Structure 1
């Protein structure tokens, strides 16, 4: 089975969606380049699922333009758009076999039985389910059911494949495996994909570009590394990976680095030239190291909570600048609650953000 993605990009131009007096998506513009996977990320109610449904044609556009492959599809019905969606609930027919589920859309499109079976078998092979054709959905695991749903979408050979929280019903270990499988499949086929999730780790793992949404608008967009290392504001810093947000004052600037006074400790942070003197410093939990000898320079802290999580320790720390959260992979040197220590900060994992 071939998947043609030469003209499968998605573009939103000043798109708004209203439900009565409620604005679910407010003047949003973005592009998903052909062959890339773009994730819409944000908390519940931010507008990401409504945005996805407008790409699919399942929600109408109040204002603005939606283009797929350079073609204006704003007024086209869902069935007239070259898109396919993988739903959160899988939406498999329980009384149909696996191959009947996968070929259902092809039957509705008028393919012959032979062509349907050939395409469905190839779709199952792509997702690693060759040999499962005769099983019912109830005889499959959750991950296998999700693979069937992906195969059903792929056999339609869409220009754009849409994923609506596809892994939310799976356990943590299976989520990791399935997200890797989806990413590998998307890259091998070069299929333009738009993916919705509220899970920031999932978004970082699968995306070429992440669009962070908050309160119906785009808060920031960029590569996973851009958003993690250079968050634009406190919302993005906290939502992508979690961050300690501490008030500070810039005391000097040299080239691309700013010296920031944080509670009497001077930190070198990548500069934002537009940042005022009074700033917020976003410090990632893994940028903090504890010195229990208190010989190094840093911020005095007291360990309030110490949690062992197998591969790493998590610490809640009390300090003069507020409570801090730290992650340390040195489980052998775990620090007990109640310990006085100094929080030292690494050169990476810090950024200036707007207050």
Structure 2
């Protein structure tokens, strides 16, 4: 029995969710196009999980409208929406076999027992767990349990598949593998997926679009590259990938580049339409290179700390402009703590943001 998928888009129109005097989501509007994976990213308490639960119908809407597949589902109960959710806790029944767990959601569908089991077996095959049907959840690894949870959602053939912090219970190596598996599965099946995480690297790795939320509103949305290379403000620049933030003043603009003064040092950064001449410059850690030669010109720094992490070196730098955090993949030429150097900035890793 084949699993069929019908991707439906998601649209929020001016959606608000209040709990008494507390506004958890405030007048939020966005779209998730059919067949794409959209990530809701932000710190704890920003409203991302509440937003996901309103898509699922697990939270009621205080104002605005929610559409799935072009249909207004604002007032529909969760069971009447064509969505399925993969929870952080997996929520597997410990006394049921893997096959029974996957087939459980189909019991109210009117299918015969044999058809339910056939479909559950196909779901397990899709997620790479064929042959695990008779095992109990306790006999599986964390990653395998997560696959069972995904298979259980897939067999419902939802228009939208929702992920609520699905990898937070896994170790770092397995988390990296599972995020790739989820992305590959989403793309191969053409599933519309909305994914919640607070992990910036995870969001960058799996998403077609990222919606960064802060204090119940959308701070910025766009492709992973847009948000990383062109953050809108201080919060997004710091939250997506981390950035060194420095006060600067625009000196001139030409051919898409802006010459900016930071503490007496002139640097070139990609231009953007900001009205004020005084700006913040966001400098990514991997956009900083160190030059220890005596004749080098640039921002004078002192290496306060050097940390070897195998694939790269992390530096804590001191300067007249404050502390900088830098990353260098040239581990063979590490600069020792206490060394004076000059920091240079690669324009591709820098951005002007509003203050």
Normalization by structure 1: what TM-score? 0.99
User: Superposition pairs for residues 232-247 of structure 1, below 5 Å?
Assistant: 232-247=232-247
User: Superposition pairs for residues 45-124 of structure 1, below 5 Å?
Assistant: 45-124=45-124
CA distance in 2, matches of 1:47, 1:352: 27
Most deviating of 267-276 and 344-353: 267-276
Partners of 2:244 and 2:324 within 8 A in 1: yes
1:5 correspondence with 2:6: yes
SS at match of 1:193: strand
Partners of 1:3 and 1:191 within 8 A in 2: no
SS at match of 1:332: helix
1:39 correspondence with 2:39: yes
1:215 correspondence with 2:209: no
Listed one character per residue, the Cα deviations across residues 35-82 of structure 1 (whole Å, up to 9, x for unaligned) are 000000000000000000000000000000000000000000000000
CA distance in 2, matches of 1:180, 1:251: 44
Partners of 1:294 and 1:342 within 8 A in 2: no
Partners of 2:3 and 2:155 within 8 A in 1: no
Point out where structure 2 has 5 or more consecutive residues left out of the alignment. none
CA distance in 1, matches of 2:337, 2:306: 6
1:24 correspondence with 2:24: yes
Aligned counterpart, 2:174 = 174
Partners of 1:16 and 1:28 within 8 A in 2: yes
Aligned counterpart, 1:265 = 265
SS at match of 2:89: coil
Point out where structure 1 has 5 or more consecutive residues left out of the alignment. none
- Deviation at 1:171? 0.3
Listed one character per residue, the Cα deviations across residues 73-110 of structure 1 (whole Å, up to 9, x for unaligned) are 00000000000000000000000000000000001323
SS at match of 2:184: helix
Q: What's the C-alpha RMSD, in Å, of the aligned pairs?
A: 0.8
CA distance in 1, matches of 2:250, 2:324: 21
Partners of 2:303 and 2:315 within 8 A in 1: yes
CA distance in 1, matches of 2:320, 2:4: 58
- Deviation at 1:345? 1.1
Normalization by structure 2: what TM-score? 0.99
CA distance in 2, matches of 1:275, 1:176: 41
1:351 correspondence with 2:327: no
- Deviation at 1:263? 1.3
- Deviation at 1:276? 1.1
SS at match of 1:153: helix
Aligned counterpart, 2:329 = 329
SS at match of 2:332: coil
SS at match of 1:281: strand
Most deviating of 184-193 and 108-117: 108-117
1:251 correspondence with 2:251: yes
SS at match of 2:249: strand
CA distance in 2, matches of 1:18, 1:347: 43
Listed one character per residue, the Cα deviations across residues 236-285 of structure 1 (whole Å, up to 9, x for unaligned) are 00000000000011011113111000111111111112241110000000
Partners of 1:275 and 1:354 within 8 A in 2: no
Partners of 2:143 and 2:174 within 8 A in 1: yes
